[in-house]
Homo-oligomer: A and B are copies of this chain.
Amino acid sequence: MSKKYVYLFEEGRTDMKGLLGGKGANLAEMTNIGLPVPQGITVTTEACNDYYAQGRKMPEGLEEEIKEKIAVLEQKVGKKFGDTENPLLLSIRSGAKFSMPGMMDTILNLGLNEQTCDAMTKATNNERFVLDCYRRFIQMFSGVVLNMEHHKFERILETQKEKRGVHFDTELDTDDLKAVVEGYKAIVKRETGRDFPTDPMEQLLLAVQAVFGSWNNQRAIVYRRLNQIPDDLGTAVNIQSMVFGNMGNDCGTGVAFTRNPSTGEKALYGEYLINAQGEDVVAGIRTPQPISKLQEEMPEIYRQFAEICEILEKHYKNMQDIEFTIERGKLYILQTRHGKRTANAAIKIAVEMVGEKLIDKTEAVLRVEANALDQLLHRRIDPDARFDVIAKGLPASPGAACGKVVFDTDEAESLGQTGEKVLLVRTETTPDDIHGIVAAQGILTSRGGMTSHAAVVARGMGKPCVCGCESIKIDYESQQFWVGDLVVKAGDLISIDGATGQVILGQVPMIDPELSPEFQMLLEWADEIRTMAVRANADTPEDAAKAREFGAEGIGLCRTEHMFMAQDRLPVVQEMILAENIEDREVALTKLLPVQQGDFYGILKAMEGFPVYIRLLDPPLHEFLPNIEELVVEITELKCTGGDKKVIEVKEELLRKVRQLHEFNPMLGHRGCRLGVTYPEIYAMQVRAIYQATAQLVKEGVNARPEVMIPLVIHVNELKMLREQAVEIARAIQEEQNVTFDIHVGTMIELPRAAVTADEIATEADFFSFGTNDLTQTTLGFSRDDAEGKFLHEYVNKKILADNPFVVLDQAGVGKLVKMGTDLGRQANPKLKVGICGEHGGEPSSIGFCHQIGMDYVSCSPYRVPIARLASAQAAAGGESSVSTK
């Protein structure tokens, strides 16, 4: 076999993450720069992939190689694996290329059995410690390798604690632990039908295979899907000699970040537990001490640790998340990785690191995941609002949220899918709760610290989270929680503030966020780097103003139908639609003209100096009419109850007209420029309104820059006809009013035919705006209204589609048409401006695609403009978006 499956730590490097996994590569790197890392070896991801390729069988040669390298390890450490004198114990941890915290499995203290326990007891003279290790080992091994349920072991431990009347594990004595170990062994025998494996090498090989297997457990798959991590990377297995944080009060274990992952402040931030093993901290079972306390308790250790933190941060040029263990007064570093952080922290750290000359501006721009800005742009609780805080927990992930209390993860998911806003309330969360967290507005837990599962995951998702709120007592059975005498039931509304830890009964007023100076700085750097313009989709002067505030350089989509929907206008619009002839329709249109002109005046003025692409009427006319079913019920009732015959007649006449306009598939119906072709007078009125408003503004000295956008074009002939009409009207207004302004007419490309005949269409267009919402609907044959409620969720879950194509642009399908349309259009008309105005225009990976195919601009909702600015810059800088917050 020429393949090398196992590496000693000193054989690796940080850039070997693909082969050794992130954890293994960093352990190797730290070993090589001389940090106090317990010795170990790494089984490669290749071994894992070969394991799967061979139908879940250990690849040939792997077992021998592991044994060989273990022998080297034994020599270095000076202990022997399975030895009855000085046994080597191992920790087994998974480690994939991308960090997947909590997703994979870990086994500590591997190698223990009756004999090695005895040897350990002799060597340490601490039987209680050995038994503590042993019970942890049996439980972890049984969970990971033997697939036994965690709670079966917990119950034995709890029973023992109850029997002894104690609260914490540390209060159990040697005899208690002996009883626990015996209980554990008995249940393994009962459940699996065989004794707990005692041969250390058998334990090791089973554990390695179990880590391989955990790559494809459900939680890992879901995590990868959520984070767009490929399924074929595989995981490495790190086999490291154990160091013990649970040998007594001169021992401990902890986790710390080199900077504050919530605010970005430059100061050590973390927690530790005295006399504990690693899992105890992140599991959130005992509430740990803040890292600053370590400076008081163990000043020398703290000094060493702070120094190592600085070394690591400078070495990796990034904020680090570091695990450490103190064994009898000696510090060991067990892991380092780029620390997850909130968007706010990511921005502050990136901007400050530029100041510290650790990284350059481009790197800073790449350091912040564009999508994560979203959390900064969300609302927070109005500081002037009065409200009753019923409890306070840890401020684990900033932002405020409000929703109905839900205790069950599955229920949170199913309610969330129906559009219900829910808050997930749990004693603590585990990786099995991911889908509920995804669906919830925010998370509230009664146990666990700032690095507990709920906190880490919520920050990653930019979701508000309050953790360790111990004053609330949760009863899953009765579906309620108490705070003192107050009872809060499932379904009640509560609010949380993840920035303060406050829990509030009911709904509270919230306000828009203010953006930090670092945020502005980062976006300015992004503006220097990006090559695509960023515009907003806005229909009102207020939206336009908001868009400019967020840095939009124009409006890429101004919809005109919302203006028709206003209550005072709808009757006139209906009059226009129901007109039996063109004369009657013209009368109604004449009433609408000044109203529309006013709309356009406001928007063009708000966007002074920037282009405003105004889309002419798009939806089918029946959208403005009463609902058929309601009319039918009304008429049936009137008839049944002997209603006025005249009224019935009028209603029936209305029904007849509404039926005439009814469509089987409105999405594919008589809409967009199909209306413009069959009722040219409607578009004529809109164009007149646009250019009369423009003329008015020009006379007032305002640089108004409207462009007319024709929707739903499928054939150049449509555009030619409607463009001619628009230009004629504009010219007439110029002449009448003796003003000059530019006349630009372009089109949406939102149907496949438009994309594949874009070369023809481009000859009549000044610009293309890809409407990828509709293009996705027709390219995939998915009606969004139907698909999202009926089958899309299942399609993503069954992995038929990687993502919801209405959120993330389907590059292989829809994207192919967008690229084709862009290329064909540019070939035929090199001056053509090309952009996107579907919702994808605010989604980072889709923005990356737009950059890649050479678009001139993206347009998105005002609140996503900052995201688009950042994502455009990242695309221009060559990265898609940073993975540092993944």
Bound form: Cα–Cα A786–B794 in Å: 30
Across the interface, name the chain B residue whose C-beta is closest to A716.
Answer: B800
Known: A629-B632, A632-B633. A753 touches B777 (CB 8 A): no
State whether the Cβ of A669 lies closer than 8 Å to any Cβ in chain B.
yes
Q: A356 contacts which chain B residues (CB < 8 A)?
A: none
**A664 in complex: contacting residue of B636, B717, B751, B786, CB < 8 Å:** B786
Bound form: Cα–Cα A629–B628 in Å: 9
State whether the Cβ of A790 lies closer than 8 Å to any Cβ in chain B.
yes
State whether the Cβ of A413 lies closer than 8 Å to any Cβ in chain B.
no
CB distance from A229 to the nearest CB of B (A): 18
CB distance from A217 to the nearest CB of B (A): 21
Bound form: Cα–Cα A795–B712 in Å: 14
Among the 9-residue stretches A137-145, A269-277, A441-449, A809-817, the one with 4 or more Cβ atoms under 8 Å from chain B is A809-817
**A791 in complex: contacting residue of B678, B774, B780, B801, CB < 8 Å:** B678
**A816 in complex: contacting residue of B629, B757, B801, B816, CB < 8 Å:** B757
- How would residues 626 to 669 of chain A score, 1 for a CB under 8 Å from any chain B CB and 0 otherwise? 00110011001100110000000000000000000001111111
State whether the Cβ of A778 lies closer than 8 Å to any Cβ in chain B.
yes
Q: Are A666 and B664 in contact (CB under 8 A)?
A: yes
State whether the Cβ of A677 lies closer than 8 Å to any Cβ in chain B.
yes
State whether the Cβ of A721 lies closer than 8 Å to any Cβ in chain B.
yes
CB distance from A779 to the nearest CB of B (A): 4
Bound form: Cα–Cα A715–B798 in Å: 13
Q: Give the contacts of A768-790 with B (CB-CB under 8 A).
A: 774, 777-783, 785-787, 790
Bound form: Cα–Cα A780–B754 in Å: 8
**A757 in complex: contacting residue of B751, B777, B813, CB < 8 Å:** B813
State whether the Cβ of A340 lies closer than 8 Å to any Cβ in chain B.
no
**A779 in complex: contacting residue of B628, B632, B753, CB < 8 Å:** B753
Known: A632-B629, A640-B640. A753 touches B665 (CB 8 A): no
State whether the Cβ of A744 lies closer than 8 Å to any Cβ in chain B.
no
Q: A790 contacts which chain B residues (CB < 8 A)?
A: 663, 669-670, 674, 678
Q: Are A798 and B721 in contact (CB under 8 A)?
A: yes
Q: A774 contacts which chain B residues (CB < 8 A)?
A: 781
Bound form: Cα–Cα A148–B637 in Å: 60
State whether the Cβ of A349 lies closer than 8 Å to any Cβ in chain B.
no
CB distance from A7 to the nearest CB of B (A): 36
CB distance from A422 to the nearest CB of B (A): 22
- How would residues 814 to 827 of chain A score, 1 for a CB under 8 Å from any chain B CB and 0 otherwise? 10110000000000
Q: A715 contacts which chain B residues (CB < 8 A)?
A: 800-801, 813
Q: A619 contacts which chain B residues (CB < 8 A)?
A: none
Q: Are B786 and A665 in contact (CB under 8 A)?
A: yes
CB distance from A675 to the nearest CB of B (A): 9
Q: Are A667 and B668 in contact (CB under 8 A)?
A: yes
State whether the Cβ of A752 lies closer than 8 Å to any Cβ in chain B.
yes
Bound form: Cα–Cα A663–B786 in Å: 6
**A636 in complex: contacting residue of B636, B717, B786, B791, CB < 8 Å:** B636
**A781 in complex: contacting residue of B717, B760, B778, B795, CB < 8 Å:** B778
State whether the Cβ of A167 lies closer than 8 Å to any Cβ in chain B.
no
CB distance from A629 to the nearest CB of B (A): 6
Q: A799 contacts which chain B residues (CB < 8 A)?
A: 717
Q: Give the contacts of A748-763 with B (CB-CB under 8 A).
A: 750-753, 756-757, 760
- How would residues 283 to 319 of chain A score, 1 for a CB under 8 Å from any chain B CB and 0 otherwise? 0000000000000000000000000000000000000
Q: Are A783 and B636 in contact (CB under 8 A)?
A: no
CB distance from A371 to the nearest CB of B (A): 24
State whether the Cβ of A714 lies closer than 8 Å to any Cβ in chain B.
yes
Q: A632 contacts which chain B residues (CB < 8 A)?
A: 629, 632-633
State whether the Cβ of A158 lies closer than 8 Å to any Cβ in chain B.
no
State whether the Cβ of A543 lies closer than 8 Å to any Cβ in chain B.
no
Bound form: Cα–Cα A714–B636 in Å: 43
Across the interface, name the chain B residue whose C-beta is closest to A714.
Answer: B780
Bound form: Cα–Cα A712–B817 in Å: 19
Known: A632-B629, A636-B637, A637-B640. A783 touches B752 (CB 8 A): no
State whether the Cβ of A408 lies closer than 8 Å to any Cβ in chain B.
no
Q: Are B669 and A667 in contact (CB under 8 A)?
A: no
Across the interface, name the chain B residue whose C-beta is closest to A793.
Answer: B678
CB distance from A662 to the nearest CB of B (A): 9
Known: A718-B800, A786-B664. A779 touches B781 (CB 8 A): no
Bound form: Cα–Cα A25–B469 in Å: 98
Q: Are B756 and A712 in contact (CB under 8 A)?
A: no
Q: Are B816 and A786 in contact (CB under 8 A)?
A: no
Q: A668 contacts which chain B residues (CB < 8 A)?
A: 665, 667-668, 777-778, 781-783, 786-787
Bound form: Cα–Cα A718–B812 in Å: 15
Q: A712 contacts which chain B residues (CB < 8 A)?
A: 781
Q: Are B751 and A780 in contact (CB under 8 A)?
A: yes
Known: A641-B640, A714-B813, A757-B812. A678 touches B783 (CB 8 A): no
Bound form: Cα–Cα A26–B302 in Å: 107
Q: A812 contacts which chain B residues (CB < 8 A)?
A: 756-757, 760
**A670 in complex: contacting residue of B640, B756, B791, CB < 8 Å:** B791
Across the interface, name the chain B residue whose C-beta is closest to A663.
Answer: B786
Q: Are B674 and A791 in contact (CB under 8 A)?
A: yes
Q: Are B636 and A640 in contact (CB under 8 A)?
A: yes
Q: Are B781 and A677 in contact (CB under 8 A)?
A: no
Bound form: Cα–Cα A777–B665 in Å: 10
Across the interface, name the chain B residue whose C-beta is closest to A778.
Answer: B778
Across the interface, name the chain B residue whose C-beta is closest to A782.
Answer: B668
Q: Give the contacts of A714-753 with B (CB-CB under 8 A).
A: 714-715, 717-718, 721, 750-753
Q: A814 contacts which chain B residues (CB < 8 A)?
A: 753
Q: A640 contacts which chain B residues (CB < 8 A)?
A: 636-637, 640-641
Q: Give the contacts of A439-487 with B (CB-CB under 8 A).
A: none
Bound form: Cα–Cα A777–B757 in Å: 16
Bound form: Cα–Cα A752–B668 in Å: 14
Across the interface, name the chain B residue whose C-beta is closest to A664.
Answer: B785
Across the interface, name the chain B residue whose C-beta is closest to A790.
Answer: B670
Q: A665 contacts which chain B residues (CB < 8 A)?
A: 665-668, 783, 785-786
Bound form: Cα–Cα A712–B781 in Å: 8
Bound form: Cα–Cα A753–B752 in Å: 9
Q: Are B783 and A669 in contact (CB under 8 A)?
A: yes
**A780 in complex: contacting residue of B641, B753, B781, CB < 8 Å:** B753
Q: A714 contacts which chain B residues (CB < 8 A)?
A: 780-782, 813
Q: A678 contacts which chain B residues (CB < 8 A)?
A: 790-791, 794
Bound form: Cα–Cα A814–B755 in Å: 11
**A800 in complex: contacting residue of B721, B752, B786, CB < 8 Å:** B721
Q: A779 contacts which chain B residues (CB < 8 A)?
A: 751-753, 756, 778
Q: Are B800 and A778 in contact (CB under 8 A)?
A: no
A-B contact pairs, 15 of them (CB 8 A): A628-B629, A632-B633, A633-B633, A637-B640, A640-B640, A668-B781, A669-B786, A677-B794, A715-B800, A721-B800, A751-B780, A752-B752, A756-B816, A757-B816, A778-B778
Q: 13 other contacts beyond A668-B778, A677-B791, with CB at 8 A cut-off?
A: A628-B629, A636-B637, A665-B666, A665-B783, A665-B786, A669-B787, A677-B798, A678-B790, A715-B813, A752-B813, A753-B810, A757-B813, A774-B781
| A→B interface (CB under 8 Å) | 628-629, 632-633, 636-637, 640-641, 663-670, 672, 674, 677-678, 712, 714-715, 717-718, 721, 750-753, 756-757, 760, 774, 777-783, 785-787, 790-791, 794-795, 798-801, 810, 812-814, 816-817
| Pairs of residues from A and B, 6 with the lowest C-beta to C-beta distance, nearest first | A640-B640, A665-B783, A668-B783, A753-B813, A752-B752, A751-B781
